[in-house]
A and B are shown apart, each in its own frame.
Chain A
């Protein structure tokens, strides 16, 4: 090709068009930014007005009841309605108790719940989630069909739906909700614990009877531990049964549940679990026992001297809290004695960690056999 592209006359036209287009877009962009500043200022003013209006309406509700609110109290203009909804949600997030209830009822009365219900069926999952987030925050919101549908939706919508179904739904729906959760890591258990925190004791006990129907071992674990935390009756049989489970997660859950109880049954169970074939279970059992009374603690430390798993030994480690070091909570001589032996054994493990050799562990006469790591 021997034609220089710069000499083509069409180039001038093309370049000129591109320049004009870009120049126009830049001017429009700059103008849009200036308009945006003005719009935000105006919105801030309206939002402030909406906040004051919400305050007035809430005062009226408190004084005269919900009957004092009429359809005319909802803003007419669409943009104002949206900002009023936002102001109500802000208020809901910050409120609790009676105020939360009043704000929720006001939100419903002004017609926002109907809008959110419609949006909860939107084609865009982010819109559905946004609507579900708002509905979730309301006192007493209930729409079984919507929530059941939510269990098959995006994981975040699923979680919010499950929260409500587990707390208020029929037992079958609650079990379905728990089964809809997909906990692929132990980090994901935390929202399930949070969900179960909000469940009443009687309901939690009923859920515990449905334990066999729950498929995910992490969810089952969370249920058992939450029940133990709340000291639900009849947990002993369940724990005894689950102690023999083949699932390590469940056996760890038994340790965690037993750790919540200060009785002899739990201590015995934890001591049994110190002989578990899984080092994770042993580590949790040692950790749980190490926080108990002195005699149990000594036994734990005795185990720790011999356990080949680092975390089992570590679980039984006496506190390295500076307060303890400074003598505010002085360990007993026996504890210190065990601790020094413990450290001594730990030193022997150093070559193992550096890959140089396998250590020889000093055995204590008080120990019994246990599985390998």
Chain B
């Protein structure tokens, strides 16, 4: 019995290591390809062309009174010839709406809203007299998915950019994200970009966002974690043709495809991943094969939790969202009809994401039991743990190296050296804590818990010498 369990854990570790190595290779190639393929030379034509597809930026806002005016300004200031911003005030109980009315001189107005996607009723629609590109929808509370559906109903732009109210987009984010829609004949239904962490403060210099490494260690660990997830996981799957995650913090969608798919599901916790899987599913079922693309460019900056309780709630919710999506689309699993998404990507998520916390915690316990019972010696135990630790460090180092070589948003040497330390310590405690939070998410999913959980944020800091 012991032998079979040992083999299982060894086999699992091997699968994890080999699949990560393959993803790293694929992702490195994909990042290089996208870096070379961006047609920046045509940017000035695109910016000058009045027929560049209009983009509607949908900003769901619930109790965002502190930052909403600033974030909306950031969205309005993006480099793009034709975009509108639709803030959906999702029945906030604070003064979100009042802040917007004051800051942008909003006036009540009318517009036909064809409610193709289910959502709570509108109380009132406003438009800014200061900047007519800004619309604010005041509606009954219905949750984030509901608010996004409302925004998609309200806008008439063919492309919709769904963002979080606390996201900062880099000035050329829309230009970069719209490229695949303009130049790719295979067709595209959604484009996501790499999300970075802005807890340490940011500044915009020469049209580029520069960020500092935060002082908070939890936030620092998340920088490495995000690099691993975005630069390797998602870029690797890009090349395989089956990226299934576009972060809810920033994604550009073909509105008609989202409408056709039925919009965001309101009764799921992971509405962003669920929508992407559904879009893939629809493309396969209708035989169109338009793509979901993830760009390596750092297009959005977000604020991550800086305390364990908030981090725990966030990871718990993400894991429940993932499980829910996998369960809802279980028919796609191992089904050749859904191509690489069904045969490779979703099974990968099952084995290495959904099962990972269970196997990892069980592995630690089994390991401990084996050592205590004398099945293995302390020396071997430490060697095995060391090998797993070193492999984790190696993966993180590789992410950091690729990031510095390509985008290098932590330009200064001190920041980069700090991150080098973080990669060494990342696997000593932080990773195990997130494994535990995800396990907690699994248990809570099985128990039928559907709450979002409050994540405490302190807000972005604008560094000296930068412009908004």
Contacts and interface: CB of A to CB of B under 8 A. Distances in A.
Interface of A: 1-6, 11-12, 15-16, 18-19, 22-23, 25-26, 29-30, 32-34, 36-37, 40-41, 93, 126-127, 129-130, 133, 136-137, 155-156, 159-160, 182-191, 193-195, 197-198, 310, 314, 317, 320-323, 325-326, 346, 353
B351 interface: no
Contacts of B391: 22
Given A19-B390, A129-B36, A36 B181 contact: no
Contacts of A185: 181, 187
A187 B179 CA distance: 10
A25 B394 contact: yes
Contact of A191 (B7, B45, B386): B45
Interface in B129-151: 129, 132
B123 interface: no
A130 B3 contact: no
B432 interface: no
Interface string B392-434: 0110011011001100100001001100100010000000000
A353 B49 CA distance: 35
A187 B416 contact: no
Interface of B: 2-3, 6-7, 10, 32-33, 36-37, 39-42, 45-46, 48-49, 51-53, 107, 109-112, 114-115, 127-129, 132, 158-159, 181-187, 254, 370, 375-377, 379-380, 383-384, 386-387, 390-391, 393-394, 397-398, 400-401, 404-405, 408, 413, 416-417, 420, 424
Contacts of A187: 53, 158-159, 181-182, 254
Contacts of A41: 413
B420 A188 contact: no
A14 B404 CA distance: 34
Of the listed residues B2, B183, B370, the one surrounded by the most CB atoms of chain A closer than 10 A to its CB is B183
Contacts of B400: 33
B401 A32 contact: yes
Contacts of A190: 46, 49, 51-53, 182
B45 A19 contact: no
A32 B112 CA distance: 58
Contacts of A25: 390, 394
A6 B6 contact: yes
Contacts of A314: 112
Given A190-B182, A322-B128, A323-B132, 13 more contacts: A6-B377, A19-B383, A19-B386, A22-B394, A32-B397, A33-B416, A36-B404, A126-B36, A188-B181, A191-B46, A194-B45, A320-B109, A346-B112
A127 B37 CA distance: 9
Given A25-B394, A93-B40, A15 B387 contact: yes
A310 B114 contact: yes
